[in-house]
Amino acid sequence: MRPPAPARRAIPGDADGLAGVDGEEATDDPAHPATFPARAPWGGRAAGQAARPDVEIVVPVHNEEVDLGPSVRALRAFLLAGFPYSFQITVVDNASTDGTWPLARELAAELPGVMAVRLARKGRGRALRAAWSASRARVVAYMDVDLSTDLNALLPLVAPLLSGHADVAIGSRLAPGARVVRGPKRTVISRCYNWLLRVTLRVRFSDAQCGFKAMRAEIAHRLLPLVEDTAWFFDTELLVLAERSGLRIHEVPVDWVDDPDSRVQIVPTAVADLRGVARVGWGLASGRLPTRELRAQLGRAEPAAPRVAGGRDGLGRQLARFAAVGVASTVAYLALFVLLRQVTGPQWANLIALAVTAVANTAVNGRLTFGAATVGAGGHLAGLAVFGLGLTLTSGALAALRSADPGAPRTVELAVLVAANVLATLTRFAALRAWFVRASGGRAASRPAEPARPVAPAGPVEPVRPRSPGEGS
């Protein structure tokens, strides 16, 4: 006899389960509820008895009527065969236009421990936010419907979370011991993207985009309101926020076989990811993301001492980060210069564009490149001093060009400015590096990191929200 079905679970945004994320209409057919009634959790220990499953595994799908049935049955059979924790499988259909939703409902009606949820809008991040926010499980997880990851990695993924040893767990195709079968193009793109994250956002995890992740539910419920992306960058944003909040991220090397029928559009996804990196980087640099408060409430360790020039983040990594920030600053500078040249002369356009980008450059480099907790007035004064030197170099280069060739075309003008900016950038790196070393008392953070120790919140934990642009850091 099958266990009775518990009450239908609502998706955030509507009390009766008929609305999805952000309150949009949850289904194109109002006759069908957003959440197909779930059965009691099934699996190893206390199968069919627990009111709260140990693990909820979310499978987000969009137009996957071919793979959905075999994959859900294979996953459920694997869990029943030897998974030692109670589980629930939740299929989240986000805006499918084929037979995916009817099939998901059939699976939920037929298979104990399987539930189906429908959202009216696309987005893997949107699907995970909806299911994880409403989950009653102790641990929430997700995997791609194609089951590219060998399921034998599931227990090593969730066990450290259930034991309390870790807060977040990710499958990694780039960790030592992983065995991966995929084409060279996707391999190069994946490695370049994760390298970019290490350089720009200073992450320590190795693989942001593997579709095989889990986290403790209470942690997910705290972090999800701060994650803005609803598509592919959702994973990266959540992981960066978790790491900066002092949470422990456990990595599992996986056996992974690329799906030749992958629907991911590489170029649009890459552009969206780069925008996401810039947005999160600015949120961290400006203090809009409240990582200090989260670290104090959730983190396992006190904030590490700032890493300054000469320490574990040595010259090579600092140069790489500084170069990445410099490229972004130069692009922003040139874009501002070109726009301002429509309304003013070259010297004023150069002054305004250089001033705006110099302030932003100093703030971002102080935090991301040189590891300063805050840049402060002294850092900005140092940046303004270097700004004066950069202004002298670029203005002098423009004056020399006008003297040598008064009718030089705009392309030559831009080329001269790029060359002058390269020289100014090298000077800025040397000057800022020297200032941040002095500001830290000349200490190099080369000593071993202290072991992580728990930090218990004092009293009730208040919700943390993103800061508005006008609030202090």
**Contact yes or no for 38/115 (Cβ under 8 A):** yes
Which helix (H) or strand (E) segment holds residue 142: the answer is strand 139-143
Which helix (H) or strand (E) segment holds residue 217: the answer is helix 217-223
List the helix and strand counts (H, then E) for the chain.
13, 10
Cα 196 from Cα 280, distance rounded (Å): 13
Cα 41 from Cα 52, distance rounded (Å): 7
Q: Where are the alpha helices (DSSP H) in 250-409?
A: 266-286, 291-298, 315-340, 346-364, 376-404
Let me know if 235 is a catalytic residue: yes
The one catalytic residue in 167, 229, 235, 313 is: 235
Amino acid at 455: V
**Contact yes or no for 95/118 (Cβ under 8 A):** no
Neighbours of 348 (CB within 10 A): 12
Residues 6+ apart with CB under 8 A from 86: 41, 42, 43, 44, 45, 46, 47, 49, 50, 53, 54, 55
What residues are labeled active site?
Answer: 235
